[in-house]
Chain A
């Protein structure tokens, strides 16, 4: 089970943020095209950073606490998932706060100058 440690942390993030879609009606997963467009540039940039950091030995991963599934450049499966799961959780949080507080983000229909 130890090799599922990193995946377990990611699962915690998915579950810990996913309920917002249902209860606070964030409608983030539902707007999946906008979500994918937003994730793409971030995933590209941060995977590039990850590749550099792994190549330079800035960080390493415990083989006993990861699945061992590696992509080219020795990027663990969990790292790729991290760069999707964490931004999605952040966007869910952002839309959850908007749902509850009604504050403007600047993308409103017929947007004014409200902050």
Chain B
């Protein structure tokens, strides 16, 4: 199979994993998509470095686009082949799905994330809005898992 075909297969497999296998359903959550938006920006930067400086090079027969790393070209985004976006989505989403899966199973569900350090939460970031949630950093559930 080509990189293009494998990339499409990986995205489909990732959806199946999230929705039906692990039942984490991250793809329906705002938390996931906002996080992914941040991740994909940095993917474009780091992947741009890896491909733009030709640290990693791609076989023309395996990708749909240009073989030369151009910033924006046929099948190229920020120097990298568009297939890398499929690859990255699968890698990142699967890792997050497993992370949430183990949390749901009670494996180190706590200590939970946050709150940001005081000198930040009082500033431009704004405080987290928690209503009826657990005390941030609380322990107590399933520490043995």
Residue from A13, A38, A57, A103 in contact with B59 in the complex, judged by beta carbons closer than 8 Å: A57
Across the interface, do B34 and A42 meet the contact criterion of CB distance under 8 Å? no
Across the interface, do B117 and A23 meet the contact criterion of CB distance under 8 Å? yes
Q: Which residue of A lies closest to B6 (CB)?
A: A49
Across the interface, do B59 and A87 meet the contact criterion of CB distance under 8 Å? no
Interface bin, chain A: 35 or more
Contacts A33-B108, A65-B53, A103-B29; A109 near B134 (Cβ below 8 A)? yes
Q: How many residues of B contact A (CB 8 A)?
A: 67
Across the interface, do B130 and A13 meet the contact criterion of CB distance under 8 Å? no
Across the interface, do B102 and A98 meet the contact criterion of CB distance under 8 Å? no
Is A80 part of the contact surface with B, judged by Cβ < 8 Å? no
Contacts A90-B39, A106-B25; A100 near B114 (Cβ below 8 A)? yes
Residue from A22, A49, A90 in contact with B96 in the complex, judged by beta carbons closer than 8 Å: A90
Across the interface, do B115 and A99 meet the contact criterion of CB distance under 8 Å? yes
Nearest Cβ in chain B — how far from A63, in angstroms?
Answer: 10
Across the interface, do B50 and A6 meet the contact criterion of CB distance under 8 Å? yes
* Chain A residues within 8 Å of B112, by CB: 27, 98, 108-109
